[in-house]
Structure 1
């Protein structure tokens, strides 16, 4: 039994995260579902899902890991169908089920290849033996590619993302659990098999291309959405894509930090989404800003100077991470330099102080997590440059969509993005051809229909 389960720094850190999320979501569910006749059924499914997650995190055996992975999706399915009479909830659960079955099949094939290659099912032994394998082992490359596909499916990357957008039909605690926890399992899977991903360049290239495409498109689509829950869902797709990009580049420490921060933020965002109306009204009453090109240039210069000075003390691990930090601080500084009045110097100083505090927190957490999950190798230059250019393009397009959507070309792009690039319609059509779906009617709906016929 000792070899079947493993306790290490990463699993303990993730267990702490699961424990905090479980406590918050459990208490919220107990209050939010008060008066629901099916509340015990919901709480049982929630407990089963959390137990399956913990079981999977500590599994050190391929079969046990796979069984835990299947148990998570089956338990989650019960939560997604808590309101089975809702057609959109049924369709979302149907699409999620198909995605889950495909990921389980691919994961089973990948684990079978690993077992045949190493003649052991102990995950820690497999990870330790990968480095000694000669380059060009097709079985290992095949297993790595399959694991990448499983992660892309589980993280709802485009174009198979529609189920994640549509599961907002489920109760709010389900959305918080899914977006703050379950959706991260794809990244956790790749971090568990990081040596295998580092071994296979084709798998890393596939992950980088798919995740980078999904990150950029999902982030742009998010800017066109009005519904708070739908915006958060698209944000999750983009954030998961960014985390997978970091894993593809070999930035495992940064990916783990991203996973932890995203989980905490999304749990808060969904459970706090009821106050979205108040935030919207406050934003409408606040003064609207429309920075000009010179404001963006000044903010970009200040941000670049700040990141450059900080990285002299603590060097950054890649160009793309530096670009991402510069662009994030630029967005933070732009509103403070926009308004030209006597208080602008004070606003800029406060914004710079806030940005510096965030940078200090970022580097402190990253330094601590480096002891838990280090980044083993330097980032490949070509992949780093491509990623940096993609981040810069995303920044420019986001500004154009936010402040210059009246231009004809930008407006056309806005309309296409508002439709989600029609990717979900295409994916749904193919999904229903593979696995036809028929809406189920509950006994209550059938009773109401009978009453209508009598009348």
Structure 2
């Protein structure tokens, strides 16, 4: 008889990530809530949430996985409402509660289809038998449902609003959510990657919705001033990027992205209180804003480096991934070419060596993770080209917003983005119309309308 728990090398890596993040956030919370009467209640809810995430990771039974998935959401809801008198926290919790219940129903339906198709509740058995039933209608339906569940869990547009409003919750909650829980959508698809790969429709749904979320949310984040709101929008964008990578079959890249994003967001939220100090330090140091010509130099240098690596070592197999790495290397090189002085040549040389080392490390890690995951999905060239076009569009529009803000169409674009593309307003109205929250309505008249949205 198979065990309801299963630990693989991939799951061990994820458990290690959870252990590091969990310890850090609990330690931070212990100090941050030292003066709170309800510190014990907060820490208990935090521990229950982390334990539920661990249970999701090690589950090998569909029912246990689903129960743990539901438990994560319910425990998180308690954390979001730790300060129940905050209207935006109430709104976020209400929207999150409804979306979570809907996604859980979809996940239950997907698991039922998988059980009917393979006649086993054990996830390990299902994954090994996918190739035998790859054209089954039930399997196709399950893949589409899993894709939709991941989109909801990762707060993709237009169901992203709750993630933005959760910044009203305590900082450790934001860190836990953005660094860990929101990643569960990607983890779900990684665990059921063969199921997803069997359906081109499911992959197409992911690429379209997650790809557009990557671009729109990424652009909206550039219009925000509040550091936590900016980070929240960037999380939606980064989660979209991770889902796109999974849909393209770039599982090892998605896993690297998941780890990097988790550590970065945990640090960013827990260190958000020092943002003003960092800003002042940059101003005192005489930080120089890069110009378009500096970007041209950085893009050229990174392109030469990437071309050399590709020519000799064939490090990239996807056009979209190549463009993404190209822009990332350019951003790394940019600060070294922005300021020109006597130390410019040594500084650029050191930066190029560091960039080459990072590219080598990335290639090695990607190869190692590919061996670990053990999945090889053929690349869809049309989807890859579409995603590459999205990345180029994101970069071009970001440059336009930064360097040509007075052009007419850029002004109109900024207004549209500054309003969050008006998507959450519609989602909020529909949510409160179909399922109003009594507790929120009681607070709304007193506080909510008097507080402008943080920008």
TM-score (norm 2): 0.93
Counterpart in the other structure of 1:450: none
Q: Contact (CA 8 Å) 1:42, 1:82: kept in 2 or not?
A: yes
Displacement after TM superposition at 1:291 (Å):
4.3
Distance 1:348 1:167, change over 3 A: same
Gaps of 5+ in 2: 447-455
Q: Contact (CA 8 Å) 1:173, 1:271: kept in 2 or not?
A: yes
Counterpart in the other structure of 1:273: 272
Matches within 5 A, 1:408-447: 408-439=408-439
Counterpart in the other structure of 2:172: 173
Counterpart in the other structure of 1:449: none
Displacement after TM superposition at 1:282 (Å):
2.3
1:97 aligns with 2:97: yes
Distance 1:134 1:15, change over 3 A: closer
CA distance in 1, matches of 2:145, 2:164: 24
Q: Deviations over 1:97-142 (max 9, x none)?
A: 011101101001111111111111111111111111153x221111
Matches within 5 A, 1:52-67: 52-67=52-67
CA distance in 2, matches of 1:175, 1:108: 27
Q: Contact (CA 8 Å) 2:91, 2:440: kept in 1 or not?
A: no
Counterpart in the other structure of 1:141: 140
CA distance in 2, matches of 1:441, 1:381: 50
Counterpart in the other structure of 1:452: none
Bigger CA drift: 286-295 or 394-403? 286-295
Distance 1:375 1:327, change over 3 A: farther
Q: Deviations over 1:293-324 (max 9, x none)?
A: 44333321211110122232252131111111
Distance 1:84 1:247, change over 3 A: same
CA distance in 2, matches of 1:354, 1:251: 25
Q: Contact (CA 8 Å) 1:130, 1:195: kept in 2 or not?
A: yes
Gaps of 5+ in 1: 447-455
Q: Contact (CA 8 Å) 1:84, 1:442: kept in 2 or not?
A: no
Counterpart in the other structure of 1:51: 51
Q: Deviations over 1:397-438 (max 9, x none)?
A: 111112221222212111110110111101111111221122
Instruction: Give the aligned CA root-mean-square deviation in angstroms.
Output: 1.9
Secondary structure at the aligned position of 1:129 is classed as helix
Counterpart in the other structure of 2:12: 12
CA distance in 2, matches of 1:181, 1:215: 18
Displacement after TM superposition at 1:335 (Å):
3.6
Distance 1:180 1:98, change over 3 A: same
Q: Deviations over 1:357-390 (max 9, x none)?
A: 3212212322322232144023111111111111
Displacement after TM superposition at 1:341 (Å):
4.0
CA distance in 2, matches of 1:22, 1:229: 20
TM-score (norm 1): 0.93
Q: Deviations over 1:327-379 (max 9, x none)?
A: 11222323433444444323322321232232122123223222321440231
Counterpart in the other structure of 1:79: 79
Distance 1:32 1:112, change over 3 A: same
CA distance in 2, matches of 1:21, 1:336: 32
Q: Contact (CA 8 Å) 2:134, 2:198: kept in 1 or not?
A: no
